[in-house]
Structure 1
Amino acid sequence: MQKKLREEPQKWSMDELNRLSVEEYKEANKLPVVLVLDNVRSMHNVGSVFRTSDAFRVEKLCLCGITATPPHREISKTALGATESVVWQHYPHTIDCVQQLKAEGYRIMAIEQVKGSQKLDATAFPNHPKTAFIFGNEVFGIHEEVLKHCDAFIEIPQFGTKHSFNISISVGIVLWHYFISGKEK
């Protein structure tokens, strides 16, 4: 008979996870980050971004152009209720959203592969109280007119054959990097 080396792992119960209610979430301090989705076509991606936004407690999610808005069954499938907790706003044109955020003092950072962009792993986020990250369309990226209004350009390093991550994966990677860079305090 083989000796048991360690205890069997036990998952946390929902009560032990101690998650906030929607009401508590709305009152809680938020990460000083706004996410801007520029003409994102997949509603599953939109739902996933809602869910990730909830997990990191982002301040607001801006859904621009053709990006679908709640309520919608396809968004709800991946959002799992996060459309109720995360503050969001729709803008018919991304440029209007970006100009408003700039006027409110946000530093606009495009997550895009452009000449001169910084690699995410080499990016130290300045101690800026307000940051907006823009994520573009799954095929075309961020519209060129919008790029002209950005303060910085960041790309996520990749080492395989594909040229990009799925937008919902990119959002998670960028928020995690921002979070561990000390902005969570």
Structure 2
Amino acid sequence: MDELNRKTVDEFKQSDKLPIVVILENIRSAYNVGSMFRTADAFLLEAIYICGYTAHPPHKEIKKTALGAEDTVHWKYIKPIEEAMAELRAEGYKIYAVEQAENSLKLHAASFKPDEKIAVILGNEVTGVEQSTIAACDGCIEIPQLGMKHSLNVSVAGGVVLWELVRAKLSEPGFGEM
């Protein structure tokens, strides 16, 4: 643990977090939810908001893939996504759906203000982010996909988008020492 510079649970909870929140909307697979907990822990994200019928801890399938991250990452279950979005907006977050949509921001070309608080919504594995949710967002972020398939597993898509957001934050003055 020391050689890998891993934090203890207490150190993680006391650490300053990156101002990025993940919102999970109607995710069918609890394994995907657990995977997002691990990603949020790895990138020291602020929180995960769990909405709709998405499974939430305690849950054996989440525990199996989260490997303890469900105990380190701050999370909230707020069934109506509109309430979660309103809460985050009141805290100063800009909210983006991760979705292929008209006028979406291509991930590699998206840029955000250094002090901007960002929340990203990941939607259902089959139907994606609900259209009504997209309409309430500040925009959409799209991962360019070049092959025949134009979809990724939700936890993979989340990891790709979150890494790009974290990478940009790590490039900012003051964040590079994390």
| TM-score, normalised with respect to structure 2 | 0.92
Counterpart-to-counterpart distance in 1, 2:169 and 2:11: 24
1:118 to 105, 123, 129: 105
Query: What is the deviation of 1:127?
Result: 2.4
Query: What is the deviation of 1:109?
Result: 1.1
Residue 151 of structure 1 aligns with an amino acid whose one-letter code is D
Counterpart-to-counterpart distance in 1, 2:148 and 2:70: 34
Q: Are the counterparts in 2 of residues 98 and 146 from structure 1 also a CA contact under 8 Å?
A: no
Counterpart-to-counterpart distance in 2, 1:136 and 1:94: 11
Q: Which residue of 2 aligns with 1:72?
A: 59
Alignment gaps of 5+ in structure 1: 1-13
Counterpart-to-counterpart distance in 2, 1:129 and 1:115: 23
Counterpart-to-counterpart distance in 1, 2:83 and 2:149: 32
Q: Are the counterparts in 1 of residues 114 and 169 from structure 2 also a CA contact under 8 Å?
A: no
Q: Which residue of 2 aligns with 1:180?
A: 167
1:37 match: secondary structure: strand
Counterpart-to-counterpart distance in 1, 2:69 and 2:18: 16
Counterpart-to-counterpart distance in 2, 1:133 and 1:163: 19
Q: Are the counterparts in 1 of residues 19 and 118 from structure 2 also a CA contact under 8 Å?
A: yes
Q: Does 1:102 align with 2:86?
A: no
Q: Are the counterparts in 2 of residues 32 and 131 from structure 1 also a CA contact under 8 Å?
A: yes
Query: What is the deviation of 1:172?
Result: 1.0
Query: What is the deviation of 1:126?
Result: 2.1
Q: Are the counterparts in 2 of residues 33 and 132 from structure 1 also a CA contact under 8 Å?
A: yes
Alignment gaps of 5+ in structure 2: none
Q: Are the counterparts in 2 of residues 111 and 153 from structure 1 also a CA contact under 8 Å?
A: yes
| TM-score, normalised with respect to structure 1 | 0.89
Q: Does 1:15 align with 2:27?
A: no
Q: Percent identity?
A: 49
1:18-74 Cα offsets, whole Å, 9 max, x none, are 211101100001010110001111011000000000000110100101100011111
Q: How many residues align?
A: 172
Q: Does 1:33 align with 2:20?
A: yes
Q: Are the counterparts in 2 of residues 35 and 61 from structure 1 also a CA contact under 8 Å?
A: yes
Query: What is the deviation of 1:183?
Result: 4.8
Q: Which residue of 1 aligns with 2:69?
A: 82
Counterpart-to-counterpart distance in 1, 2:144 and 2:109: 10
Query: What is the deviation of 1:128?
Result: 3.6
Q: Determine which structure has more spread, i.e. the larger CA radius of gyration.
A: 1
Residue 73 of structure 2 aligns with an amino acid whose one-letter code is V
Q: Are the counterparts in 2 of residues 107 and 128 from structure 1 also a CA contact under 8 Å?
A: no
